[in-house]
Amino acid sequence: MTTTTDQPLLRIRDLHVAFPTDDGLVHAVNGMDLTLARGETVGIVGESGSGKTVTSQALMGLLKETRAQVTGEILLDGTDLNSLSEDRMRAWRGKKIAMIFQDPLSAMHPFHSVGAQIAEAYRVHNKVSRKAATAVAVDMLGRVGIPDPKRRAAAFPHEFSGGMRQRAMIAMALVCEPELLIADEPTTALDVTVQAQILDLLGELQQETGTAVVLVTHDLGVVAEVCHHVAVMYGGQCVERGSVRELFRDPRHPYTQGLLASMPTLGDDGERLRPIPGFPPSLTALPAGCLFADRCPQTHRVPDGRCHSERPAFLTGDAADHPSRCHQETLATAEEAAR
């Protein structure tokens, strides 16, 4: 379906994002790494404030020409998006990399018809007449499962139901057949039944078009359902990543373990929810050690208080397909090597 280059479609390396505020620099993303192959789906999971939305905004280049300080590399097809000028990035937005948002009602212009908004997205990157673009928009609406697309194209966003709006939003994002689609909490604002439909639709369209998807969500259930890979974010870092199977079967980072344990399941009869105690670190004054150390129940397993003094790094090598940013990993690898 796609070319078989060794190069992954997307590679984020050591991405940092900081926002200057009156209270000092807010370090929203602190060394994010991610790779994504063509046609695959990676889930970025994390709680509010873990930097997942900021990461997706940095991916789209939406932080350019703002006060945000973005460093690191975002390689799409080998081109570093972070060093592109706003003008060059603009040519990529919508064409090579597109985005769908959490709340389709506020993300669509209330005064323009749905069809016109999709057609506009097409005309930005394709020199065609308004009429031709509208035809493309109608066709696209049909592909995302909107009945009677010709008539509905003339309707306004407020005349759509929530699920239909998100379908239209997806149509808008995919109309130029981007190589990468970023979906920022695409189902959070929707009913559970509609959620499943939207996720199915995304999956189908992905099969059809070969678009790679970055799915940003706080919902582990959604991740388990649709993603190939997962990156768990905490305090603006990716603390663990791996294939969905491995990560759910064998979570290595204490945060991931806590996250999975806190998920309610139908099996627990009347059992209480198990939240992770404590709060995420302040993003204006990050601790020197592991960002999760203050909430981690396993710091006693690491000697010399290293959890609080030294920030763990990802291991490379054998562990690279399921790395965890935890000192216990480093120790385990060291022991193995000693044996």
Q: Which residues bind other proteins (CB under 8 A)?
A: 60, 62, 90-95, 98-99, 101, 103, 106-113, 120-121, 124-125, 156, 158-159, 172-173
Measured from the CB atom, is 168 or 223 closer to other proteins? 168
As measured in angstroms, the least distance from the Cβ of 157 to other proteins is 9
Residue appearing with tokens 């900021």: 54
As measured in angstroms, the least distance from the Cβ of 256 to other proteins is 30
Q: Give bridge partners of residue 24 from the DSSP assignment.
A: 21
Measured from the CB atom, is 69 or 282 closer to other proteins? 69
Q: Can you say whether the dihedral through the CA atoms of 27, 33, 36, 41 is positive or negative? A: negative
**Both structure tokens of 93:** 């937005």
Q: Give bridge partners of residue 69 from the DSSP assignment.
A: 18
Q: What is the rounded distance in angstroms from the CA atom of residue 337 to the CA atom of residue 339?
A: 5
Measured from the CB atom, is 77 or 120 closer to other proteins? 120
**Both structure tokens of 322:** 């399921």
As measured in angstroms, the least distance from the Cβ of 158 to other proteins is 5
Residue type, 44: I
Measured from the CB atom, is 138 or 239 closer to other proteins? 138
As measured in angstroms, the least distance from the Cβ of 104 to other proteins is 9
As measured in angstroms, the least distance from the Cβ of 202 to other proteins is 17
Order of all β-strands in the sheet with 180-184: 97-100, 180-184, 212-217, 41-45, 229-234, 237-243
Measured from the CB atom, is 141 or 173 closer to other proteins? 173
Q: What is the rounded distance in angstroms from the CA atom of residue 276 to the CA atom of residue 273?
A: 10
As measured in angstroms, the least distance from the Cβ of 339 to other proteins is 52
Measured from the CB atom, is 85 or 262 closer to other proteins? 85
234 CB-near residues (< 8 Å, 6+ apart): 46, 47, 50, 255, 280, 291, 292
Residue appearing with tokens 């959070």: 188
